[in-house]
Structure 1
Amino acid sequence: MQKLIFATNNTHKAEEIRSVLEGRFTITTLKEAGIDMDIPEPFDTLEENARKKAATVYHLTGISCFGEDTGLETNTLNGEPGVKSARYAGEERDFAANIEKLLDQLKGKTDRTARFRTVISLILNGAEHQFEGICEGSITVQPRGEKGFGYDPVFIPHNASRTFAEMSLPEKNQYSHRKKAMEQLIQFLITQ
């Protein structure tokens, strides 16, 4: 089974990715690979941040790997929080504060449409390949649900009536932006 290092310390993201891969690949997180660091996300695009994460891990290990960056983009707020989603309310990555800020920014707005967008940068045998997954939806007026992480309590995907935080992981994967990007990654890897 092919081993890939996932350039993250986010256990929720690793769990989502592993649920999609269904044993086809062995996924190792940074911590599991013995890499004790948080890779900075200094860029203005998801693509550049994903590339930076993968390149850092590949430089350190020489092992095929992938990095991912995800943003929640709202139409009314010109794409905010976007690439700054994890740090929307400050550098401490407090998602309760991020959600509170987002809902405050959307107060009184009638257009609550949004989308989650994930970009994965794979480095396989030294060559980079990028994949994108998008989930269209809308933002609720208040948080709902206890599952998931990040903005899941306020995001309802199109053609659903519940937030990501009200869904089980298999249910979320029916809509998930991360799953869509991972499926492209898997199809690419299968053909290699």
Structure 2
Amino acid sequence: MKLLVATQNKHKKQEIEAVLKKTFEVVSLADLSDDEVIDETGDTFFENALLKAKHYAKKHNMLTLADDSGLSIDYLNGAPGIYSARYSGGSDLDNLNLVLKEMAHATNRDAHFTCVLVLYDPRTNVYQTYQGKIYGWITHTAQGNHGFGYDPIFYVPELKQTLAELSPTHKNQISHRAIALQALKEAFR
């Protein structure tokens, strides 16, 4: 069964495909040469994921999975949150550096990643939602060469490593997105 993943982000597609490849044939917006970017006008991860899933499912008439995810930091009152991908207005590295700058004098460095997935079927207009979270804290400097986004500054205490220090295979077993994807996969068993 084909599944459209509503993203242009090749890293997200790879993470999703790694978990779901035995359940679905995964295609992305990039695979369909769809470079339309819709405004994420929701106030929550769920609202943004639903907005994207519904839009692209109807546009391409395909079962569609959309995710909205982000980093929430206690010291920053939950920021960057739903604005994680566009927090600085620049690149992933700009976002990461802005967080490090804002956290320079923080004593409470607790944070968590949230991923909300929405699976939308355009034939029935029915959707299902799945969520994953992972808890850790923000490091003082970037560490590791894997992953993307804020992975180099998100330390997982149980593993004694940042997400960027984990192999892609290991990350795809424990990340917030992996937890949500496993829940989706279980629902399709």
Determine the structure 1 residue equivalent to 2:115.
118
Paired letter, 1:144: Q
Matched ranges for 1:139-154 at <5 A: 139-154=138-153
Determine which structure has the larger helix proportion and give its number. Answer: 2
Deviation at 1:35, TM superposition (A): 2.4
Structure 1, unaligned runs of 5 or more: none
Determine the structure 1 residue equivalent to 2:102.
105
Determine the structure 2 residue equivalent to 1:19.
18
Q: Distance in 1 between matches of 2:161 and 2:168?
A: 13
Give yes or no for contact 2:100–2:141 (8 Å, CA) kept in 1. Answer: yes
TM score, norm. by length of structure 1: 0.93
Determine the structure 1 residue equivalent to 2:173.
174
* Residue deviations 1:67-123 (CA, integer Å, cap 9, x gap): 101110011111010000011111x4x111111111111111111010000000111
Secondary structure of the 1:53 match is helix
Secondary structure of the 2:76 match is coil
Deviation at 1:34, TM superposition (A): 3.8
Aligned-residue sequence identity (percent) comes to 36
Give yes or no for contact 1:5–1:33 (8 Å, CA) kept in 2. Answer: no
Detail structure 1 runs of 4+ shifted over 4 Å in the superposition. none
Paired letter, 1:105: E
Query: Matched residue pairs, number?
Result: 187
Secondary structure of the 1:70 match is strand
TM score, norm. by length of structure 2: 0.94
Determine the structure 2 residue equivalent to 1:3.
2
Give yes or no for contact 2:5–2:66 (8 Å, CA) kept in 1. Answer: yes
Q: What root-mean-square deviation, in Å, do the aligned CA atoms of Structure 1 and Structure 2 show?
A: 1.2
Secondary structure of the 2:131 match is strand
